[in-house]
Amino acid sequence: MSKKSVVDHYELEWKKRIDENGNESFFNYERNWVLPPFFKSNEEVLDLGSGNSIVGEYLVKKFNCRVTALDFSKIAIEVAKKKGVKGIVGSVEDNLPFKNGYFDLVFWGDNIEHVWQPKLILKEIYRVLKSKGRVIISTPNQAYWRYRLHSLLKGELPKTEGTPNQPWEWTHIRFFNRNILNKLLKLCGFKEINFLGVSRRRLDRVLLKIFPDIFGMIMIVEAKKK
């Protein structure tokens, strides 16, 4: 697939999402229910692979942060700008157009599973973060017990997007659990300081606090630049 085809795909995807969602609320997505305690006031934040930057809008309004959103989609960035977020159209897999040590926080939400070079991107995140700056990453948790059971019974990776497409059509091309993501973070100079599993299923919620890396359908990792 050419770069133009990828861009066209995301433009169509974001046009569809914006038409369907209208005025989307931050708390519509279950991942966002647990995010507020991770945030701090008055920070310089990069919302990486931002989409329409619903997280960036929340940080601007509730935490008085200065947020820059970067995404492939011109349509999504146009919407982000209307929310009070500075928007830049670009690819997360290119060198980030920011100087060294510029940001206090990089929020990288639900994007690492879509990219070819997560190691190179994390090294760029490391570069643009201030000393002891933080990165927050959210991604599907391949160690989630239902996904493990599906793999055992079906002999195939589960469809973490929740769509009925074939494996060769999936938009997820990387698969992480806590251990794998930790190895990658350490390799790029980060140290995990917080981990949460997220699921709204009743059984999962009971056991999340004890075994977050097994009963979290989504995982959120906060890591600090060493």
Distance from chain centroid for Cα 53: 11
Handedness of CA 109, 110, 114, 118 (dihedral sign): positive
Distance from chain centroid for Cα 31: 10
The pLDDT tens digits of the residues spanning 166-223 come to 778 778 889 999 999 999 999 999 999 999 999 999 989 999 999 999 999 999 999 9
Band of residue 43 on the pLDDT scale cut at 50, 70, 90: very high
Average pLDDT, the chain: 92
| pLDDT recorded at residue 182 | 98
CATH number at residue 132: 3.40.50.150
Residue 141 clears pLDDT 60, i.e. is over it:
yes
Q: What tokens does 147 get?
A: 């996904």
Q: Average the pLDDT over 37-43 and give the result.
A: 98
| pLDDT recorded at residue 170 | 72
Query: How does strand 103-109 pair with strand 86-89?
Result: unpaired
Residue 10 clears pLDDT 90, i.e. is over it:
no
Query: How does strand 129-140 pair with strand 66-71?
Result: unpaired
| pLDDT recorded at residue 214 | 97
Non-local (6+) Cβ contacts of 8 within 8 A are: none
- Per the model's pLDDT, the better-predicted residue between 57 and 162 turns out to be 57
Q: Average the pLDDT over 11-37 and give the result.
A: 83
| pLDDT recorded at residue 1 | 56
Domain that holds residue 143: 3-225
Q: Number of folded domains in the chain? A: 1
Residue 140 clears pLDDT 60, i.e. is over it:
yes
| pLDDT recorded at residue 171 | 81
| pLDDT recorded at residue 168 | 80
Work out the percent of the chain whose per-residue pLDDT is above 90: 77
Work out the percent of the chain whose per-residue pLDDT is above 70: 94
Phi-psi region of 58 (alpha: psi -120 to 50; beta: other; left: phi over 0): alpha
Residue 3 clears pLDDT 80, i.e. is over it:
no
Rounded to whole angstroms, how far apart are CA atoms 51 and 112?
Answer: 13
- Is the pTM higher than 0.85? The answer reads yes
CB atoms within 10 A of CB 152: 8
The DSSP result for 7-50, as a single string, is: HHHHHHHHHHHHHHHSS--GGGSGGGGG-GGG--TT-EEEEET-
State the burial class of residue 56 (Cβ atoms within 10 Å of its Cβ: 0-12, 13-18, 19+): buried
Residue 157 clears pLDDT 90, i.e. is over it:
no
Minimum mean pLDDT range among 1-5, 15-19, 212-216? 1-5
The pLDDT tens digits of the residues spanning 58-114 come to 999 999 999 999 999 999 999 999 999 999 999 999 999 999 999 999 999 999 999
